[in-house]
Amino acid sequence: MARSSKGSVKKKPIWYIVASSSEAVFYKEDRRRRFSFVERLENPGAKLKESALDSDRAGRGFSTFRGGVLRHGLEGHSNRHDTLTKRFAKEVSQYLELAYQRGDFGDLTVVAEPTFLGVLREKLSSNVKNCVRHEIARLYPVGSDRAMKGLIKKALEQDKIKEKRAS
């Protein structure tokens, strides 16, 4: 933790990330509990159809069997959405790592659609993973700062209630 000029320990802001495969929005809550927008990263390719991402059609192939020839289409089985999602998760994790190195946050709460949360978790550095205090596997539409704070706080409270019931 950083020290202020008076020698007391200064608490770092808490960061919140609300993410999906198409965008990641970062918020912070300072020591006075003021919630504010930090940054937005976008992955425009995530919203495109697979056919719009692949410019090439699958090729044609020939197979022989007992003296005959069979002509068929080759399967172009590369899922560009998966590739773009992994690349975007890496971009988000790199952004978080730089913010961590600058000392921009102390604790981190990750709110993400379940599939993207798994991909993002794989890409986070150990430094950032150690800062993660809460993970919420839900997809929220990004709204105003005040609306997002309310949704995140409500989800955190619901998770605390579930934890108490489970113990």
CA-based torsion, 20, 96, 137, 122: positive or negative: positive
Q: What is the pTM (predicted TM-score) of this model?
A: 0.74
Q: What is the pLDDT of residue 134?
A: 93
Q: What is the pLDDT of residue 119?
A: 97
Q: What is the pLDDT of residue 112?
A: 93
Q: What is the pLDDT of residue 51?
A: 47
Question: Mean pLDDT, consecutive 10-residue segments, the chain of 167 residues?
Answer: 52 93 94 92 74 50 55 56 92 98 96 95 97 90 83 83 60
Closest CA relative to residue 14, chosen from 39, 31, 1, 2:
31
DSSP character at residue 74:
P
Rounded CA separation 4/70 (Å)? 76
Q: What is the pLDDT of residue 121?
A: 96
Q: What is the pLDDT of residue 76?
A: 46
Rounded CA separation 159/88 (Å)? 27
121 three-state secondary structure: helix
Instruction: Give the amino acid at 20.
Output: S
Q: What is the pLDDT of residue 165?
A: 62
How many Cβ atoms sit within 10 Å of the Cβ of residue 84? 18
Distance between alpha carbon 63 and the CA centroid of its chain, in Å?
Answer: 44
Domains of the chain: 10-47+80-166 (3.30.420.60)
Rounded CA separation 92/72 (Å)? 41
Q: What is the pLDDT of residue 18?
A: 94
